[in-house]
Amino acid sequence: MGGKPNRTGRLRLTGLLAMLCFCLSGAPWGLSAEPQVASNATPCAGAEAQLRAAQKALDEGNLGEGERLLTPLQSSHPNCSEILVGLARLHAARKDPITAQELFSRATVLAPQDARPYYYFAQFHFSQQQYRQADYFSEQAVSRDPAYPDALILRGQILAMKGRTAEARELLEKACKLDPDNPEAHFQLGVLVDARRLPPEAVEQFEKVIALRPHDARAFDYLALNLESLGEPKKAEAAYQRGLQVNDGPLFDSFLDFNYGRFLMKANRLAESKVRLDRALRLAPETRAVYYEHSRLNSRLQKFKEAQVEAEHALSLPDPSGFVLDLQVYYLLATIYTRLGNTDLARKYAALCRTSRVPLQSQGRGDR
Regarding whether 368 and 303 lie in a shared domain, the answer is yes
Domains contained in the chain, number:
3
Q: Which of 124, 114, 112 is nearest to 87 (CA)?
A: 124
Regarding whether 278 and 366 lie in a shared domain, the answer is yes
Q: Look at residue 358 in the predicted model and tell me its pLDDT.
A: 79
**Position 244 in a domain:** yes
Q: What is the dihedral of CA 142, 148, 150, 151, to 10 degrees?
A: 0
Q: Look at residue 321 in the predicted model and tell me its pLDDT.
A: 83
Query: Which tens digits make up the pLDDT trace of 13-35?
Result: 443 343 344 444 344 543 433 33
Regarding whether 170 and 91 lie in a shared domain, the answer is yes
Regarding whether 315 and 280 lie in a shared domain, the answer is yes
C-beta neighbour count of 46 within 10 angstroms = 11
Residue numbers in the chain where pLDDT is lower than 50: 1-9, 12-27, 29-40, 362-368
Distance CA 190, CA 208 (A): 9
Length of the chain (residues): 368
Sign of the Cα torsion 68, 73, 75, 78 reads negative
Distance CA 157, CA 169 (A): 9
**Position 311 in a domain:** yes
CATH number, domain at 133?
1.25.40.10
Cβ(13)–Cβ(2) below 8 Å = yes
The boundaries of the domain holding residue 163 are: 77-174
Kind and range of the H or E run holding 333: helix 326-340
Regarding whether 204 and 156 lie in a shared domain, the answer is no
Regarding whether 189 and 116 lie in a shared domain, the answer is no
Regarding whether 363 and 283 lie in a shared domain, the answer is yes
Contacts 24+ apart (CB under 8 A), 99-108: 100/124, 105/31, 106/81, 107/81, 107/82, 108/31, 108/35, 108/81
E-state strands within 76-183: none
Query: Which tens digits make up the pLDDT trace of 90-146?
Result: 999 999 999 999 999 999 999 999 999 999 999 999 999 999 999 999 999 999 999
Cβ(125)–Cβ(133) below 8 Å = yes
Regarding whether 200 and 152 lie in a shared domain, the answer is no
**Position 25 in a domain:** no
Domain boundary, last residue among 174, 206, 227? 174
Q: Look at residue 21 in the predicted model and tell me its pLDDT.
A: 41
Say what the pTM is. Answer: 0.84
Regarding whether 312 and 280 lie in a shared domain, the answer is yes
Regarding whether 243 and 185 lie in a shared domain, the answer is yes
Domain boundary, last residue among 220, 253, 286? 253
**Position 86 in a domain:** yes
11: left (phi over 0), alpha (psi -120 to 50) or beta: beta
Domain boundary, last residue among 221, 253, 285? 253
Distance CA 157, CA 368 (A): 12
